[in-house]
Structure 1
Amino acid sequence: MADIISPEQRSALMSRIRGKNTGIELEVRKGLHALGFRYRLGGAGLPGRPDIVLPRHRTVVFVHGCFWHLHDCHLFRWPKSRPEFWKKKIIANQERDRRSVGKLKDQGWKVETVWECELRGHPPAQRAEVILALAERIRKRGFG
């Protein structure tokens, strides 16, 4: 199936998709900070460059978009245009994520993942519950 917009327009649209500091990521960070967690950003030097690094708890948090990381939820749909390209790209993302998590665990890190669908479209109270549950998991599994 042909794309309904030109390649230039598609490129412009895709270039506006942020990889860092997304609304969901900011919400998770603010929520953890409000609960007393202190963290580093970007995970430079760590496999997969986690979004949030909590050194005191020896925990990293990935905030994943459901489309880019192939989450089996209502937000993920295979694109109709260029299906071969997208399947290859998204499967490669998922395999890279799996390798990164394995390496992090081998290095003694605990790994948490927050999916976009856990927050997007839900009322504020339910979103807060997701962040509280994440905080509890970190506290139970962490060292601090």
Structure 2
Amino acid sequence: MGFRKSAALVMASLALATGALAEPSWSAPAGGSDNAQATVEGVDGVPARGDGGDCAYGRLCLYTQPNFKGTRFDLYVCGDYRLAQWNGYGSAWNNQTVGTAAAFKNSTFTVIGTIPGREVNGTIHGYSNYNFSPVWYAYNC
């Protein structure tokens, strides 16, 4: 994983609308996403529904592709989760309780990005496109 490169973080907060998340308008960057072999240690991935509405309450969900597509990994037991082969753009939702921020960390466990928890008004916070290349760990609590 030493070949990971730094990238700017892009944050988007989307509202929960009638039980489904608003579809973000975003196009993949040149070169696309290279998370086909992405894994999260101790978590089985499942096919994503493609709208973000499949992220259950109380979880941080990571998606291998932008716009909440590809494979979804649900993180709900508190801790640092090791990510492997996340070499490109994906997406993430923090659908946890109010005040439960999630963090992305690099190889030295330095926080390089955060996502606030669910707000009182029902807004779910997340990234519709996020470069996971510099991320080695996701902390969900």
What TM-score range do you get, normalising by the shorter chain? under 0.3
Question: RCO higher in 1 or 2 (8 Å CA, sep ≥ 6)?
Answer: 2
Q: TM-score by structure 2 length?
A: 0.28
Which is richer in strand? 2
Q: TM-score by structure 1 length?
A: 0.27
Higher Cα Rg: structure 1 or 2?
1
Which is richer in helix? 1
